[in-house]
Chains A and B, each alone.
Chain A
Amino acid sequence: MSDEHIDEVSGVSTTGHEWDGIRELNNPLPRWWVITFYVTIAWALVYTTAYPAWPMLTSATKGMLGYSSRKDVKNDLAAAEAAKGKYVAAIQAKSVSEILTDDALREFAVAAGAAAFKVNCTQCHGSGAQGSKGFPNLNDDDWLWGGSPDQIKQTITHGLRFASDPDTRLSEMPAFGDIITADQIAQVSAYVASLSGKVRDASLIQPGAKVFAENCVACHGDNAKGNREFGAPDLTDAIWLYGSGETAIAAQVRAPKQGVMPAWVGRLGEIKVKELAVYVHSLGGGE
């Protein structure tokens, strides 16, 4: 095996291994390849010393540079927070209506509010804030509790009918199924529907108006325009939270559904709530 054997055809020495008369040529590796190979070995040593690499019994070597990807993330997050700091401080110091007057601040708040909205609000209000039956559309210009920047902020801060917040917005429409007769319900529903559209039986409107005057004006007002103090909806417009038409209105008169919204300030903090208010206000219906 040790005898050097030269291949006759190519003139190259062989490795000395032989399989059924076939020998393997011992061509040297290209020099650039060999150099690259040694460089990678040297590089591997340097790299694994500098960075966390070698597995030990319970952990791994830390590396001389003290690098860790978690620290990187932490630094990145800190840098992002620092970059936002100027805006966040301004948002903290200003009221929602003041934020709206500052273009740069408003844009920042809208972007931040949109992100917070996606996480916290879309579950009920929808990803486009378009709402659904029972959950108000925040894009429109009809507001149960007021659409000014500070009113929106108030609603987000303390929620609606949210028992554990003492400052929550509170109101309750009685279930008129126990108070007035079924006929009266049909009449008042016809009257309410007639305020913004056509009704099936116009003869119900007149008595309905009487029922309305006796039972409903306290909250919904003489002209049925509603009252934001109690979150009483405007019954003359085109927007119906629980559906339009006499049937839907009658159902709501008989046994009203009333939504609950949690108070968000404890969970999101003052700044996020302001950003959300700015975002909701910017959706197009803000007053």
Chain B
Amino acid sequence: MRDKTQLTRLETETVNAAKTRKPLYAARQKIFPKRASGNFRRFKWLVMTITLGIYYLTAWLHWDRGPFAPDQAVLLDLTNRRFYFFFIEIWPQEFFYVAGLLVMAGVGLFLITSAVGRAWCGYACPQTVWVDLFLVVERAIEGDRNARMKLDAGPWTARKLMLRVSKHAIWLVIGAATGGAWIFYFADAPTLVGELFTGTAAPVAYITIAVLTATTYTFGGLMREQVCTYMCPWPRIQAAMLDENSLTVTYNDWRGEPRSRHAKKVQASGQSVGDCVDCNACVAVCPMGIDIRDGQQLECITCALCIDACDGVMDKLGKERGLISYATLSDYNANMMLAIAGGSSSINPSLVRTAVGTFSDQVAHFHIRKIFRPRTYVYMGLWSLIGLGLLYSLLTRDRLELNVLHDRNPQFVTLSDGSIRNGYSVKLLNMIPEPRTIVVTMQGLEGADMVVVGDDIPAGRSFAIPVEPDRLKTLKVFVRQPADQIHAPAQTFKFRVEDKASFESNEYAATFNAPEAAK
């Protein structure tokens, strides 16, 4: 076994140490997270690359929709109230798809949290990703933890000023790029980028960039972990999502305690000693500035960097990895009972090990099976149900619609030959980016015919009319029925629209009113 004493103990202090329990209103204690390396760190780099890549690049993807629609893959065209997402185009009245996606995101968050804890917080949340990015800049300019602490504590020299200015400048550039990328989703990106730099873009574009630059810089650079701890509701809600089978980042004190910096000496004196050498590596890398050894806590975003740090130390010591690990509460409790011999002693790590030093068979390890339990089945079911419902609705939705508004004032007009006329506003919705000729037909209402105001179409029961691509066309239609054909004060009939080329059709049941005396 190697000499454990060659590990240097890192001087750290947690912001919420159980010992002191300082009040909540306190000046922020600066946190200088040390660079971590390991599997989880690599995974986080990957997630960061993918998420930032999606955010910065999606607006620049192209998707050909023909000559009558924009070719930007993802575009929120607020001016024309059309929303494009690759092959999907939605109109404002179809915004429930977005609501459905948000519900799915919510249920998905429940699912992920109940299975693997706050994975969203630790890996994919924009706050985490951008803070990570800002820390990369900070480390590149000011150095790692110790160099940064020294610089922070030191006097304002020209070097410190230069480092700080360049750091904040780069942060602001990232902030501006973040705000800049956002606005490209709302207009044609190549055009807008030209306008931005020539100063001819709409004021709202500059305002949006300014606001998002400020928020990115403030949240990612200045406030960092405080956003998660004080501003975000999710840490409070998560407790309801976690149960004893949820994976959370756990300090396995059943094998770690009693911790000691001088294990050999303690062992020599005949006392039991755990795997934790109290090197504080886990605290030093923590972007939240907490000590995971105090147990599961609100501040922990489960980024798993403490696992990486501890695994590195365990590797150096030649011990099994996983002193800090993703573990479920039920496994942890089982192992804890083992270590304290069912409650009869304080933690004795030798109880979880065999004579040769390996873990005993009784030590519980996480099994993938635990993810599949009634709770997650319910979440998965709910999630899939909403997803399938949305998909079904999307695949069967109408792209040719009509709405009819019956004139209410007057409801009907008696004409000089005694016939009755009703007016309707007929709205034809051509929801595809192609011009179409739409045939409007009346069904029912014997003897009646219709005319379109402002159009030279002769009176009849059917007419064809061109509708511009992706537009709504409002027609004022007068329907007239001879007096002798009227048999009720309110008769129903149908307006039918049809695209003869695509065989799409739609109907609207309308009412035709006549005075009581006319029947």
> Are A238's CB and B453's CB within 8 A?
no
Q: Which residues of B contact A137 (CB under 8 A)?
A: 410, 413-414
A167 proximal to B (CB < 8 A): no
A31 proximal to B (CB < 8 A): yes
Q: How far is the CA of A92 from the CA of B280 in the complex (A)?
A: 85
Q: Which residues of A contact B (CB under 8 A)?
A: 27, 30-31, 103, 106, 126-130, 137, 139-142, 196, 234, 237-239, 282, 284-285
> Are B453's CB and A140's CB within 8 A?
no
CB distance from B102 to the nearest CB of A (A): 31
B421 proximal to A (CB < 8 A): yes
Q: Which residues of A contact B414 (CB under 8 A)?
A: 137, 140, 238-239
> Are A282's CB and B25's CB within 8 A?
no
Closest chain A residue to B408, Cβ basis: A128
> Are A142's CB and B410's CB within 8 A?
no
Given the known interface contacts A31-B27, A127-B409, the answer about A284 and B423 at a Cβ–Cβ threshold of 8 Å is yes
> Are A142's CB and B416's CB within 8 A?
yes
Q: Which residues of A contact B417 (CB under 8 A)?
A: 237-238
B203 proximal to A (CB < 8 A): no
Q: Which residues of B contact A (CB under 8 A)?
A: 25, 27, 407-410, 413-418, 421, 423, 453-454, 476, 478, 483
Q: How far is the CA of A234 from the CA of B418 in the complex (A)?
A: 13
Q: Which residues of A contact B421 (CB under 8 A)?
A: 139-140, 284
> Are A141's CB and B454's CB within 8 A?
no
Q: How far is the CA of A285 from the CA of B478 in the complex (A)?
A: 10
Q: How far is the CA of A239 from the CA of B483 in the complex (A)?
A: 13
> Are B416's CB and A128's CB within 8 A?
no
Residue from A103, A142, A234, A238 with most neighbouring chain B CB atoms (10 Å): A238
CB distance from B288 to the nearest CB of A (A): 19
Q: How far is the CA of A239 from the CA of B423 in the complex (A)?
A: 18
Q: Which residues of B contact A234 (CB under 8 A)?
A: 416
Q: Residue A30 contacts which of B25, B409, B418, B478 (CB distance < 8 angstroms)?
A: B25
Q: Residue A139 contacts which of B27, B410, B483 (CB distance < 8 angstroms)?
A: B410
CB distance from B411 to the nearest CB of A (A): 9
- The 5 A-B residue pairs whose C-beta atoms are closest, nearest first, are A128-B409, A237-B416, A130-B410, A238-B418, A139-B413
CB distance from B518 to the nearest CB of A (A): 9
> Are B25's CB and A130's CB within 8 A?
no
Given the known interface contacts A106-B454, A284-B421, A284-B453, the answer about A128 and B415 at a Cβ–Cβ threshold of 8 Å is no
Q: Residue B415 contacts which of A31, A126, A238, A282 (CB distance < 8 angstroms)?
A: A238
Q: Which residues of B contact A285 (CB under 8 A)?
A: 413, 415
> Are B25's CB and A140's CB within 8 A?
no
CB distance from B427 to the nearest CB of A (A): 15
Q: How far is the CA of A237 from the CA of B414 in the complex (A)?
A: 10
Q: Which residues of A contact B483 (CB under 8 A)?
A: 238
Q: How far is the CA of A220 from the CA of B408 in the complex (A)?
A: 34
